[in-house]
Amino acid sequence: MSLLEVTGLHVWFDLQQGGELHAVQGVGFDLDAGERFGLVGESGCGKTTTILALMGLLPPTASVAGTVALAGENLLERGERTVSPHRWKDVAMVFQGAMNAFNPVKRVGDQIAEPMALHEVADGAEAKRRVGELLELVGITAARADRYPHEFSGGMRQRAAIAMALACEPKVLLADEPTTALDVMVQAQILELLVTLSDDFGLALVLVTHDLPVVAQVCERAAVMYAGEIVESGPTTALFHNPRHPYTRLLFAATPDLYGDEDVASIPGAPPRLDRPIGGCPFQPRCDRAFGRCEEARPVLRSVADRHAAACHLNDLPQEVPAA
Amino acid sequence: MRGADYVLKRTVFAIITVFVALTLNFVLFRAAPGDATSSLRGCRNCTPEFRDALYAELGLDKSKLEQYWIYLQGLAQGDLGLSFVSRQPVWDELRDPILNTLPMVGLGYLFSIVFGILVGVIAAWRRGTFADWGGLLSALVFYSLPTQWLGLMLLILFSGVLPSSGISDPFIEFTDPSTWEVILDRLEHMILPSLTLGLVLYGEYALIVRSSMLETLGEDYILTARAKGLANWAIVWKHAFRNALLPIVTLVALTLGYVVAGAILVEAVFSYPGIGLVTYEAIFSRDYPVLQGAFLILTLSVVVANYIADLLYFRLDPRISA
Amino acid sequence: MSVGPDVATGDIPAPRLRRPLDATWRIVKTQPRATAGFVIVLFFVVVALTAPWLAPYGVTEKVGPVFEPPSPEHPLGLDDAGVDMLSLMMWGARVSLVVGFAAALVAMLIGGTIGLLSGYFGGRTDTVLMRMTDYFLVIPDIPLMLVAAAIWGRSLSNIVIIIGVIYWTTTARLIRSQVISLRERVYVKRAHAVGAGHGRILFRHILPQVTPLIVANTVLTVAIAIFAETAIAFLGLGDPTLTSWGKLIENAFSHNAITVDAWWAIVPPGIAVALVILGCTMVGQAIEDTLNPRLRVGHLSVRRFRLRPLQGTDQV
């Protein structure tokens, strides 16, 4: 049994004009303590929705199906009631654009200490001491706890957000684009910090990003998401050297390694709309290797090698050797 | 010191605003074409001697600049001139009414702030529910009612139950009342005017508080607070409200200008002897010195309220630095 | 809607007829608040426009005893001079709406111009104009209006100008902040680089973008202006030759309608004013809310996401 097991996760959103949007379509993955797992894809592919679903943070327009098992206990069993005791205590999160993750009118230290008191981890002077320790751990002097968020630089705020996520010693840390909007040097430092933390504390890390090279650098395993579903998953080395889905290959090709621009001109075309059923392969219109079957049948995720799975009809063709 | 800078800036602004108000007051009454004094120039029934005496008294025989200087000097000594009607110093005419108005307006203000914030916060919190619709509708309705008309409706509704005019029971002196009875009598007379003001302002505050709260509830740190496991009420009061309060503080100060105006209408309806009623009567009798004095005091009170709001803002928002 | 075979013309296919209806229905469904407000305002505009033909009596025509209660003949009763209230209400709509819309237009022109110039040019222009706006914002509006009306006289045009000149400040501020963010957009910068003049950029690129905001704000100002008109009229500073709703309230009050229990002389004008203000506010706020991206997300809700069993779906 793994620490975190996600199986058959679906998320739908009600649309204002009627109908619904199938944002996450049967996503599944698992990870153990101390393991680092990457979730990669273009914006709008359902990465963020997936991890918000793990924490039960979806808006009321959402409906969810599937199981999210934490150490064997299904968090989605009874919705809000079964998720809320685990929030921050067992599963914590570093949000996308952590610039705004802090309340501008409250001291950073108080905001880090807030969940401690709430989950009865520490209180008063003890909490204050722990806040100091956590800040030191992420490389911020403890005295800064009395400062307000606007007095921190972008990188420092992101570090503080990580310190806040560690407040209750969670087992799983979900990091949603933790390095976007930061400059390259700071990005590297933050990633290094995350790696150290998971090594030292046995923290299971889910790293959500659009940046495949970052995942290759940090994570042992990763899943590539497209149009709400996982199209390929496996060890990062395998994904990098032997991608078995054209989308993975194009994604690696489209992203510059380092010092790249924020919005790279990536794969031409746009992901399909998710408010209507998709007939064939969702990637078919943008795929450079699409053939007849891709338009007719939707490929399913199936094992292509040891712990390596992909959802592509090309893998069924014996003569085709998909190479990078 | 970032704080000292900000306070200095706001103080300078407040002082300049006072001067703008003083000058506007002067220009409106003395220097604009068709101003208050021109009607005196056309005074056909006056003897030439009387007119000259009046001119000299008002200083109209001097240049505009000199008049402005005399006006400022007079103000510095607390001299607002003489009433045309009673021939008494304007300040004496205004002092008691101001003291009558303050508690009445204060009560209405308090009512509107408390209920406006309460309903606005709850409506935003329960966005899209029945509570939201109900709160929004009640706020919109009270916001839409003309102040004086709402006053008249309350007058009809509560006639016989609550006193409908004046500030005290004229016969109460004969009953040898205790202090408590006098206060109670005053309060009874205050209820309807205060309630009228309070209800109209309630509508405005509830609308603004609701939209300010809605904006705040969409911020990322609210999602963070939820992820941290905070209960809904804790998110609303500990995180959202403090931030939503910022625009509300400014608004409450700015609407003091409206409160002041509302006081004129409400006191006219309920014959409540405050500064509003004095203004109302001065308009009718064209008693320009009194009108000028009242306008000046109303303006200054709004400037001061804004200054206080600026300082309060500084206390509430750590991001402010000059 | 079906088009039978006997439709020989054929050049108006059914979908074209249906499209505007569909579009209207969509707006009604997604924007009930704006629709309700619009219908209310439209009703009163129609009443105002048709008053000369539809009003049963004149505004000075004595048709019965003083303060006669409502009857089938005079559904809203008679006022203190024995004039038909319904006719007064219809004629009053003209004056109240004209004041409201004209003053809002004046405010829009002043506020829009100052906001555009201030936001577009920035720098010293911005500083001077915004300082001016700040001072105006602080000075209490209604007392200033009363003083101005008392001094300058009580004609309709004076009242329109006074109200308009006082209520431009919020418009100016809103437009300014919008223009500042637009100025930084790529296409404006590109237009500038290509060599387009200030006038061209302002009118071709920026003005069209801020128009919805200006409209929303103007509609809200109409409400405020009508409110202000009733206040001015109530304090005896309205145009003495014209009948407005504010004047009707004042008239009933000063002729003791309350003491003789003639509620019909005082209730209708107040309700009419309130309805128009309500309508304008609903329309204006609905537009503003649609334009405000910050209102689209809410991270807090009393309801939660729902759970759905997988069996119900056709997914594997």
ipTM, two decimals: 0.85
What are the chain A neighbours of B243 within 8 Å (beta carbons)? 103-105
To the nearest whole percent, how much of chain A has pLDDT over 70?
A: 93
- Give me the pLDDT at residue B2, please: 61
The closest CB to that of A103, out of B226, B243, B316, belongs to B243
Q: Is a pLDDT exceeding 90 seen at residue C226? A: yes
A121 CA: distance to closest CA in chain B (Å): 13
What are the chain C neighbours of A297 within 8 Å (beta carbons)? none
- Give me the pLDDT at residue C177, please: 87
Token digits of residue B25: 């007051």
Order of strands across the sheet with A302-305?
A91-94, A172-176, A204-209, A36-40, A221-226, A229-235, A308-310, A302-305
- pTM for this entry: 0.83
Q: What is the distance between the alpha carbons of residues B86 and B93, in angstroms, rounded to a whole number?
A: 9
Q: pLDDT (tens digit, 9 = 90+) per residue, C174-194?
A: 899 888 888 777 677 777 777
pLDDT, average across residues C37-47: 94
- Find the farthest-apart pair of alpha carbons in chain B and give their distance in angstroms, rounded: 84
Q: Of the segments A71-75, B77-81, B155-159, C104-108, which one has the largest average pLDDT value?
A: C104-108
B149 CA: distance to closest CA in chain C (Å): 6
Q: Is a pLDDT exceeding 60 seen at residue C13? A: no
Q: Is a pLDDT exceeding 70 seen at residue C37? A: yes
Whether residues A89 and B229 touch (CB distance < 8 A) is answered with yes
Contacts of B260 (CB under 8 A, 6+ apart): B105, B276, B298, B301, B302, C140, C142, C143
- Give me the pLDDT at residue C292, please: 78
Whether residues B224 and A148 touch (CB distance < 8 A) is answered with no
Token digits of residue B252: 């409450």
C299 to chain A: closest CA residue: A59
- Give me the pLDDT at residue B127, please: 84
Q: pLDDT (tens digit, 9 = 90+) per residue, B18-66?
A: 888 888 878 877 655 555 555 555 555 666 677 677 666 666 667 778 8
Q: What's the CA angle centered on A290, arms A286 and A295, to 5 degrees?
A: 90
Chain C residues with CB-CB distance to A under 8 A? 26, 30, 298-299, 301, 303-310, 313, 315-316
- Give me the pLDDT at residue B121, please: 92
In order, the DSSP letters of C12-78 are S-HHHHHHHHHHHHHHHHH-HHHHHHHHHHHHHHHHHHHHHHH-SS-SS-B-SSTTPPP-SSSTT-B
Confidence of residue C58 (pLDDT cuts 50, 70, 90): confident
Whether residues A63 and C26 touch (CB distance < 8 A) is answered with no
Whether residues B261 and C147 touch (CB distance < 8 A) is answered with no
Token digits of residue C85: 């209230």
More confident residue, B128 or A4: A4
Residue B236's nearest CA partner among C279, A44, A103, A131 is A103
- Give me the pLDDT at residue C313, please: 45
- Give me the pLDDT at residue B300, please: 85
Q: What is the distance between the alpha carbons of residues A148 and A109, in angstroms, rounded to a whole number?
A: 9
Q: Of how many residues is chain C composed?
A: 316
Q: What is the distance between the alpha carbons of residues B139 and B205, in angstroms, rounded to a whole number?
A: 8
Whether residues C26 and A17 touch (CB distance < 8 A) is answered with yes
Q: Which residues of chain A have pLDDT under 70?
A: 97-99, 254-266, 318-324
Neighbours of chain B (3+ CB pairs under 8 A): A, C
- Give me the pLDDT at residue C6, please: 36
Confidence of residue B322 (pLDDT cuts 50, 70, 90): very low
Of B21-30, B97-106, C44-53, C122-131, minimum mean pLDDT range: B21-30
Whether residues B153 and C289 touch (CB distance < 8 A) is answered with no
What are the chain B neighbours of C266 within 8 Å (beta carbons)? 149, 152
Q: Is a pLDDT exceeding 70 seen at residue C204? A: yes
Q: Is a pLDDT exceeding 90 seen at residue B193? A: yes
Token digits of residue B286: 């064209």
Whether residues B283 and C146 touch (CB distance < 8 A) is answered with yes
What are the chain A neighbours of C296 within 8 Å (beta carbons)? none
The neighbour count for residue B179, using CB atoms within 10 Å, is 7
More confident residue, C183 or C41: C41
What are the chain C neighbours of A65 within 8 Å (beta carbons)? 307-310, 313
Which run of H or of E encompasses A231?
strand A229-235
A80 CA: distance to closest CA in chain C (Å): 7
Interface of B with C in 111-140 (CB under 8 A): 125-129, 140
Confidence of residue B116 (pLDDT cuts 50, 70, 90): very high
Whether residues A57 and B223 touch (CB distance < 8 A) is answered with yes
Q: Is a pLDDT exceeding 90 seen at residue C46? A: yes
More confident residue, B200 or C199: B200
Interface size A-C, in CB pairs within 8 Å, comes to: 50
pLDDT, average across residues B230-234: 87
Q: Is a pLDDT exceeding 80 seen at residue B231? A: yes
